[in-house]
Chain A
């Protein structure tokens, strides 16, 4: 019989047992951090909290928060809780904004991380009979190494493709019969488009499931990818700071991601006040590691906005679920004093019958913010009449103004004209920050 869970005892553990397990682990983790990380010890001392004050998960709220700014201040070794002799690996964030984060791993940290990814692969139906194509970037980025490790643990035949070279991806996918694809959703969509261009139909390729994460994507995008590749597309969540992908993962129900809460304790807080919000309320996701040796983080603010739910899941897992992040506290743009989320632009495009291939360009000219949105038009939408295209641009701008309250200048561009790095899509160019 096919295995339904990778670690059944944990994944289906009754809530009371899970809370007991989390409490025991939390007490140990706090002690480990307090004894070994001066940076966090100072934060606790400043707040007047001692490790003895943390007797279980009910005391979690007493601990100070950690933010990305703390990680930057403490770069590179300030939050390290183990001697370097015990560490075997680093991973790092892309650092596109010059705020690189370096996370350290002991062998045990790597093992636990890979277990988390293995749970995600088994949850989408993966077993040792599968061929798992890992088209996430390898290297400092956690996507490739994480899923690669998980795939090994499950016993899949692992294709360590890394991202890019789409022709080669397709060749290996078809020649070696890949059944599971792991990559960013935008790259999955790109592979789907390329397959279509090359004349492949979804039934021509043996893929059955995909595990897609590391960037935001919508339900519409999920349906598009599922149709173009003929698969079920599953979400996975994680961040370099806490380990990498596999902090949470989707099951067959596709209604949110089960958090591996035996390793990562989740809270939702009000991003303005820091107050803990009850289950079901929308707020900023905060994680506390429970087993990390080298790079434990207590109450780390992810900046992702989402909702937690303990609603019974049909897959049998009792692990708490988080919604897909609905936005980030930090990808909010303030343009002419108005809050703009890229996800709002995406919603308008889908409502108006466009593909969500867009790029927001913000600049400041003569002390006024300029706000432009480039949108790819499909061959069906293109016409020989200049007036029609200008009217389409105007209609889109009006729809965006209705949604946002400010007027963008919309430019329709040719398909694939927007630089689509084969990893993460660049959705926002804020030139105001480049001065």
Chain B
């Protein structure tokens, strides 16, 4: 059920980000969502893209340090309190969220949240039991 997140090591050098986004654009990869975690010395770029395999190969071939991580994607209503509700479900199940980021759909009135947790299956079960709709790789490709 989980979706694939592409993680890229980004050196703290001017122009690194744009060379990554340029590469993806040249290879017709559409970025659906991204987040960046940065420290003094380096950044970690996390991407959800429409064509994970193509993005992965392109970046690898160009010498980037990358890792594919399975994350949980969940659809939530575009209204105040919806994110809180989803997080509340996880909290009640004692599931620690390491990081998360959200994005909006272009057409539907929905937001999507990407969650990084220790145990994907457990998180997915809890969310589904609470009535949340999870998103799949196919959903991402269609977005």
Contact = CB atoms under 8 A, between A and B. Distances in A.
A384 B69 CA distance: 7
Contacts of B132: none
Interface string A370-391: 0000000101001111100110
Contacts of A315: none
Main secondary structure of the interface of A (DSSP, over half): loop
Contacts of B98: 385
A389 B42 contact: yes
Contact of B65 (A385, A386, A414): A414
Interface stretch (B5-13, B85-93, B104-112): B5-13
A414 B39 contact: no
B82 interface: no
Interface string B53-90: 00000000001111101000000000000000000000
B66 A379 contact: yes
A383 B41 contact: no
Contact of A377 (B37, B41, B65, B69): B65
B9, B42, B63 interface centre (most CB from chain A within 10 Å): B9
Interface residues of A, number: 16
B65 A415 contact: yes
Given A384-B46, A385-B98, A411 B41 contact: yes
Interface string B17-59: 0000000000000000000010101101010000000000000
Nearest to B63: A416
A389 to B, nearest CB: 7
A376 B69 CA distance: 21
A324 B39 CA distance: 41
Counting from the closest, the 9 A-B pairs by CB-CB distance are: A384-B7, A414-B65, A384-B69, A386-B37, A382-B65, A411-B41, A382-B67, A414-B9, A386-B44
Interface of B: 5, 7, 9, 11, 37, 39, 41-42, 44, 46, 63-67, 69, 98, 116
Interface of A: 377, 379, 382-386, 389-390, 411-417
